[in-house]
Structure 1
Amino acid sequence: MSKKKLTSAFGKPVGNDISSETAGAKGPTLMNDAHLMEKLAHFDRERIPERVVHAKGAGAYGYFEVTADVSKYTKAAFLSEVGKKTEVVARFSTVGGEKGSADSERDPRGFAVKFYTEEGNYDMVGNNTPVFFIRDAMKFPDFIHTQKRHPATNCKDPDMFWDFLSLTPESIHQVTVLFSDRGTPATYRNMNGYSSHTYKWYNEKGEYFWVQYHFKTDQGISNFTGEEADAMRGKDPDHATRDLYESIEKGDYPSWTLEMQILTPEQAEKLRWDIFDITKVWPHSEVPPITVGKLVLNRNPVNYFAEIEQAAFSPANFVPGITASPDKMLQGRLFSYHDTHIHRLGPNYHLIPVNRPKNSPEMSYQRDAFMRVDDGGGSGPNYWPNSFGGPAPDESANEPPLPIEGQATRHAYELVDDDFVQPGNLYRDVMTEQDRANLVRNIVGHLGGAQKRIQLRQTALFYKADKDYGTRVAQGLGLDVGEVEKLAAMTQEERAAATA
């Protein structure tokens, strides 16, 4: 028998937790059973809104250790010296599926790390793929809608999925990655993590650099084939969540080596690729990565809800020495993540222990609102400027200026380079013959559920990336290769009209 005494939420001892107060042994329940009302009211609200994306996930605590001197690139304190360690919490997730979906679904995987630095929390919020489907945040709600459920049938819909992608040629690089076996990682421990976006590092002198993050798994890459992923969905839909927890529990701590690609502004101008286009990579042959540090996860959460479900990561959480780039997709995320956390967890979600900046206490004039659980700033001033000793801005925290020019309007993306070059290179030069065979089989199995006109339009994009790529998909779908070739030669507008 436990020696701990059960109480209400407000500390009142509870004498009976299995029987409601009723009017007689068989009578109706009484409204004055305050303990029952409290218990049911809390139960009714136990499920907070799930994340719109990245709803299904797993996470753990650990540390990041600096292994190379990068102080000439950034003044971020947690990266200031070799051997320095910073506590972290990490969360891995599927992107499009609901909270009850299977871990082995074909989907990008979220890869988010919160660094509890002495200058505040820094969040690196990326994926297991170095590119993404779209490059402008204006398209994001529409894209996610197509990956969810049809408004009439409430089922996943291949027409929705492929209709949008086939009308969005910039997606071809990520589609090629997703439908390869990289779209179904064997575990969270056996996949890489990427910032995908370009970020800006700046040093004490005010010099700045453009960077991308690559967390390379030390466990080695391991993926499921499409067939293996399908089998795992039925065998254990939580296999990756279970694997991460059990590995850490038995002392087999997963780790990742952080490599950085770094460009000076002058080097960036000379690079063939648009460094702010998230649908493109920086080829390693052109921008060799350097090793910077080690990420190790060595502690499981005690309570999943408190520490992982309520963990809130935002790409807008920077520290001095690190900030955003003009990447249009990133610019939208800077607003959207914080905004959705406020909706899901409340305006004071930063006070939840897992989100609290534990090594740099909050000192702001943001006050009150739902779920304020500390002293609310006490009797100090809640405005700036003030002459009562409130916290003051520190000019040294300002980032170096970035030159901006041009007209303020809705600019269409200027296609500096063909969207099909890099996916074609990936198909021809990086994938093995077995990789290509698996890719085509995975695409045919999914795209085969869409209408023929959408199949033709999408297959034409594969053909534009690589003739063999498009031909094999067309043959797998039973399409006329000549018709696909004809569509591939059209402009995007002509292709859309021809397959409307």
Structure 2
Amino acid sequence: MTDLTTASGIPVPDNQNSITAGPRGPVLLHDFHLIEKLQHFNRERIPERVVHAKGSGAYGSFTVTHDISKYTKARLFSEVGKQTATFLRFSTVGGEKGSADTERDPRGFALRFYTEEGNWDLVGNNTPTFFLKDGIKFPDFIHTQKRDPQTNLKSAENMWDFWSRAPESLHQVTILFSSRGTPDGYRHMDGFGSHTYSLINAEGRLHWVKWHFKTLQGIRNLSAAEAVRLAGVDPDYAQRDLFNAIAQGDYPRWSVEIQLMDDEQRAAWEARTGWDAFDLTKVWPQGDFPRIKVGILELNRNPDNYHAEVEQAALSPSNIVPGLGYSPDKMLQARLFAYHDAQLYRVGANHQHLPVNRPRCPFHNQQRDGAMAIANGGAAANYDPVRSGGPATGGFGHGDAGWHLEGVAGRYDTRATDDHFTQAGNLFRLLDEEGKRNLVTNIAGSLSQADAVTQDRQIAHFLRADPAYGHGVAEAIYALANKG
């Protein structure tokens, strides 16, 4: 057994008994081992994530199986067969760190690629859409998913009041209350980058892209009743399933695929459909933009220490590498700031120094000092001299030519004229009869807890998506109200 020491390496002579004045005490302040032990214990928790607090993680690899180098100059895609180390954190969105893995909730799908050009973080969900299209409403939305400030209870009234006043949420609400709202663990669900991003090739040509991760284990979901049962008997169900599968060599895998459109295709599609290609509440129909295979993602190693490697993992969509880029997506633009800022608050100014966050390629910057500055630059200069002529690549980002901007700077509200209903209706019509019954039953169980005015406002949205959708929810709520 290894001899116990203090954090400074000093041997601990007795870890069972405090230093006291006589056998009964009191305890003496000069027992530094006792003091250090209690001080560290009081500080063992870092601030919980506001969202995605309950999560699981694993390491793995990404292998290129199809050549997409004509679309991107990113080196991780440079040749078929190339492998890149990865880390993936799954999570539920709305619950606290001690909440159940099986709650009805979107699931986070936050993937880091440790590339030779730095870390690329693709921070998405298990859904291709989201409830909002503008990040300015994100704090309001999350407050409705958390605890009411007076009762400290979750509030169905708050949730449905918000959703019913934001019909842009209808598509994601339909996904959430379908069977996919309670996936059977993390291995049996798809992942998505969700936002529109961009790829830039060696010639500087840009394509807009959406990322898809299709589970090779097959989609598997829990019934509403089974999800509730598991929340009571095994609230860590998804964590247990993922950890045990990897420990036993049953490595989960996903097919990595993309949808692409160039700017001419984007303009033509938007003119034909009236949908904004950068709107996070919309999908790109695969009939118009079929998926293209890229590679295989495999998870094959569990973390050695949950706190160090999963709790302190600090991902941000602002981390992209040359050949990859952003888009004008308003929600994405907000997340580019918010995620990194959250990690600075939660983990610290030097969170990138931690092993799970540190790039696996050489890096150099002029950042210095702050708490836990492990890689502090030594004698190297802590400034970069002024250089005339600007960046050698031109444009912005990693060598792409930039986006064409138009219009007057201002606050634009397009919600009154946007189509919030067609895609939600299309999804409803794609469900089989059992899927439709589950959807309306799941919605009714939650919406019935809201007041009548909120119910009517929300049912009107369902009716506009598809009459059978709205009537089904209304009838299910009526049946609940008259049960028995």
TM-score range, shorter chain: over 0.9
Give 1:322's aligned amino acid: L
Shift of 1:478: 2.2
Which secondary structure state, in structure 2, belongs to the residue aligned with residue 478 of structure 1? helix
In the TM superposition, what whole-angstrom CA distance separates every residue of 1:260-292 from its partner, at most 9, and x where no partner exists?
001111111111231100000001111111111
Rounded Cα–Cα distance in structure 2 between residues aligned with 1:362 and 1:135: 35
Question: Residue in 2 aligned with 1:370?
Answer: 371
The Cα of 1:393 is off from its aligned counterpart by 6.7
Alignment of 1:309-348 (within 5 A): 309-348=311-350
User: Aligned residue for 1:31?
Assistant: 29
Superposed CA offset, 1:406-461 (max 9, x none):
11111112666511000101111x10000000001000101111111111111111
Distance 1:29 1:281 in 2: 65
Please give the secondary structure, in 2, of the residue aligned with 1:30: coil
Q: The residue matched to 1:436 in structure 2 has which SS?
A: helix
Give the ranges of 4+ consecutive aligned residues of structure 1 lying more than 4 Å apart after TM superposition: 414-417
Report the Cα offset of residue 395 of structure 1: 3.4
CA offsets per residue over residues 152-181 of structure 1, 9 Å max, x none?
Answer: 000001111111010000000000000001
CA distance in 2, matches of 1:104, 1:126: 19
Q: 2:474 aligned with 1:457, yes or no?
A: no
One-letter amino acid of the counterpart of residue 68, structure 1 = H
Give deviations 1:51-94, integer Å, cap 9, x for gaps. 10000010100000001110110000101110000000001000
Matched AA of 1:127: N
- The whole-number CA distance in structure 2 between the counterparts of 1:467 and 1:289 is 31
Partner of 1:491: none
Aligned to 1:478: 478
Matches within 5 A, 1:208-223: 208-223=206-221
Contact 2:315 2:339 in 1 (8 A): yes
Please name the residue that 1:112 is paired with.
110
Check whether the contact 2:255–2:297 (CA below 8 A) recurs between aligned residues. Answer: yes
Amino acid at match of 1:332: A
**Which SS does the other structure have where 2:325 is aligned?**
strand
Equivalents in 2 of 1:199, 1:398: separation in Å?
15
Moved more, 225-234 or 123-132: 225-234
Contact kept in structure 1, 2:168 and 2:415, CA below 8 Å: no
Q: Provide the rounded CA distance (Å) in 1 between the counterparts of 2:340 and 2:50.
A: 13
- CA contact under 8 A between 2:53 and 2:93: conserved in structure 1? yes
The aligned runs of 1:184-203 (5 Å cut-off) are 184-203=182-201
Q: Which amino acid aligns with 1:181?
A: S
Cα distance in 1 for residues equivalent to 2:228 and 2:323: 44
Measure, in 2, the Cα distance between the counterparts of 1:103 and 1:41: 31
Task: Name 1:71's counterpart in structure 2.
Answer: 69
Distance 2:392 2:113 in 1: 22
TM-score relative to the length of structure 2: 0.95
1:300 is the counterpart of 2:318: no
Query: Is residue 170 from structure 1 mapped to residue 168 from structure 2 by the alignment?
Result: yes
* Amino acid across the alignment from 1:53: V
Contact kept in structure 1, 2:95 and 2:146, CA below 8 Å:
yes
- Return the alpha-carbon distance in structure 2 between the equivalents of residues 415 and 158 of structure 1: 25
Q: For 1:466 and 1:225, how far apart are their aligned partners in 2?
A: 24
Given the superposition, is the C-alpha separation of residues 407 and 109 from structure 1 closer, same or farther in structure 2, using an over 3 Å criterion? same
Aligned counterparts of 2:392 and 2:366: Cα–Cα separation in 1: 15
CA shift, 1:123, in A, is 0.4
Distance across 2 between alignment mates of 1:413 and 1:319:
33
C-alpha separation in 2, matches of 1:10 and 1:62: 34
* Paired position in structure 2 for 1:288: 290
The equivalent position to 1:124 in structure 2, one of 92, 105, 122, is: 122
User: Residues 428-443 of structure 1 correspond to what in structure 2 (within 5 A)?
Assistant: 428=429, 430-443=430-443
Match of 2:133 in 1: 135
2:123 aligns to what SS in structure 1?
A: strand
Going from structure 1 to structure 2, the CA distance change for 1:347 and 1:394 (only over 3 Å counts) comes to farther
Instruction: Name the amino acid aligned to 1:357.
Output: P
Evaluate the alpha carbon distance shift between residue 470 and residue 343 of structure 1 in structure 2; reply closer, same or farther with a 3 A threshold.
Answer: same
Q: SS of 1:297's equivalent? A: strand
Which ranges of structure 1 fall in alignment gaps of 5 or more residues? 480-500
Shift of 1:329: 0.3
Counterpart secondary structure, 2:428? helix
CA distance in 1, matches of 2:204, 2:116: 21
Separation (CA, whole Å) in 2 of partners of 1:39 and 1:460: 59
The C-alpha deviation readout for 1:374-403, integer Å capped at 9, x for no partner, is 3x111221112179xxxx976384332211
Tell me if structure 1 keeps the 8 A contact 2:156–2:450.
Answer: yes
Q: Is the 8 A contact 1:112 1:127 kept in 2?
A: yes
1:150 aligns with 2:148: yes
How many Å separate the matches in 1 of 2:78 and 2:93?
Answer: 33
Amino acid of the structure 2 residue aligned with 1:69:
D
Q: CA deviation at 1:362?
A: 2.3
**In 1, distance between residues paired with 2:386 and 2:257?**
44
Percentage identity across paired residues of the two chains: 56
Aligned residue for 1:85? 83
Aligned-partner Cα distance in 2 for 1:75–1:415: 40
State the one-letter code of the partner of 1:32: H
2:355 aligned partner: 353
Distance 2:21 2:427 in 1: 73
Give the secondary-structure state (helix, strand or coil) at the position aligned to 1:395: coil
**Offset from partner CA, 1:344-392 (integer Å, 9 cap, x none):** 000000001100001x222011111111123x111221112179xxxx9
In the aligned structure 1, how far is the partner of 2:41 from the partner of 2:372?
18
Amino acid at match of 1:454: T
1:126-152 CA-partner distances (Å, limit 9, x unpaired): 000000000000000000000000000
Q: How far apart are 1:192 and its partner, in Å?
A: 0.1
Report the 3-state secondary structure (helix = DSSP H, G, I; strand = E; otherwise coil) of the residue aligned with 1:19. coil
The correspondence of residues 182-261 of structure 1 with structure 2, limited to 5 A, is: 182-261=180-259
1:438, 1:478 → 2: CA distance?
Answer: 16
Paired AA for residue 460 in structure 2: A
Aligned residue-pair number: 470
Aligned to 2:482: none
**Matched residue SS, 1:166:** helix
How far apart in 1 are the matches of 2:146 and 2:161?
13
Q: Is the 8 A contact 1:320 1:399 kept in 2?
A: no
Measured in 2, the distance between the counterparts of 1:417 and 1:179 equals 23
CA distance in 2, matches of 1:288, 1:386: 47
Structure 1 equivalent of residue 16 of structure 2? 18
Residue matched to 1:9: 7
SS at match of 2:62: strand
Check the 8 A contact 1:347/1:370 in 2, yes or no: yes
